[in-house]
Structure formats: C-alpha cells, structure tokens
Amino acid sequence: MIRLGLFGLVFAGLLVADISWWISALFATVIAFAVSYIFLGAQRDELAADIKARMQKRGMAEEDADSEDSAVGSPSEGNS
C-alpha cells in the first residue's frame, strides 16, 4: 500500500509539473520502485518470512525444497 501511495504521489507531482501522463507514469514507476527497494526492505523481508511460514505450515515448502535441491545437486555430482 505504501508503494502504491508513493507511485500516486510522484505521478501527481509530475502531472502538476505539466509533464505528459505517460512519461509521468514511467518516471513514477521507476522512482517508486527504486525508493521502495532501498527504504522498504524490512517490509519485504517480513512478507517473505510470512510466506515461508505459511508454506511450511501447509507442508509445501519441504516438497519444493527437496525437488529443487535434487535438481541443483544432480548436474554438479556428475561433473566432480
């Protein structure tokens, strides 16, 4: 929600500065992404931890992890 608000704020500011709407949208997207990537890392980490906890609760994470580990491990074992 913070990211969407940031986009809206930048977009509106660029429109007020009399910049074309599609250029404003493009710059607002890039600016909102960059700012949220730099300053909202804690929220991103919390969301990732929440998703991981939900997957572990359902038992989905173990199946995926085992299949990914075997897929990654297979080629390197043959080359050693």
Distances in Å between the Cα of 52 and the Cα atoms of 44, 45, 56, 61, 80 are 12, 11, 6, 7, 33
Domain containing residue 23: 2-39
Q: Does 76 fall in a domain?
A: no
pLDDT of 12 reads: 97
Q: Does 80 fall in a domain?
A: no
Per-residue pLDDT of the chain (80 residues; tens, 9 = 90+): 888 999 999 999 999 999 999 999 999 999 999 998 898 888 888 988 999 888 888 776 566 666 776 777 655 555 55
Q: Does 15 fall in a domain?
A: yes
Domain count, the chain: 2
Q: Are residues 30 and 47 in the same domain?
A: no
Q: Are residues 6 and 35 in the same domain?
A: yes
Q: Are residues 6 and 31 in the same domain?
A: yes
Q: Does 59 fall in a domain?
A: yes
Q: Does 79 fall in a domain?
A: no
